Amino acid sequence: MSKKILVVDDVFDDLHVMKVLLEKEGYTVLSATNGAQALDVVRQTVPDLMLIDVRMPTLSGYDLLLLMREKFNHKIKMLYVSIVPQKEVVLTDADGFIQKPFSPPVFIAAVKKVLKET
């Protein structure tokens, strides 16, 4: 059974690129364009991994991560994917970080590493 990954990003092009790359690797991909929508998705299907943009309207990536940790602890792996430089991102409780723009091999390697599929 393929791993489920929820991609949360308010930039449609970024969301689409990540979805295509992940589907090529055989993952089941769910998507949301903001944190509130992500909460709705998680109510129906609990993913193995969430890829979260840091800056989003409605609910920031930080707030979304905190809510997910309160509800699921570390059952769901969580990676930030952001244009914000890593040194400016608070990585507390996150399972990792992917810098935008990214190359497909670097992106997939980071996903596989956090899912322990390397």
pLDDT in tens, 20-51: 999 999 999 999 999 999 999 999 999 999 99
* Pairing, β 28-32 against β 49-52: unpaired
Asked whether the CA dihedral 88, 19, 70, 64 is positive or negative, the reply is: positive
Per-domain boundaries in the chain: 4-114
pLDDT level of residue 118 (50, 70, 90 thresholds) = low
Query: Do residues 69 and 40 touch, judged by C-beta distance below 8 A?
Result: no
1: pLDDT strictly greater than 90: no
The CATH classification of domain 4-114, taken from the options 3.40.1280.10, 3.30.70.20, 3.40.50.2300, 3.40.50.300: 3.40.50.2300
pLDDT in tens, 49-100: 999 999 998 889 999 999 999 998 889 999 999 999 999 999 989 999 999 9
pLDDT level of residue 9 (50, 70, 90 thresholds) = very high
Please name the residue that has the structure tokens 């399972």. 95
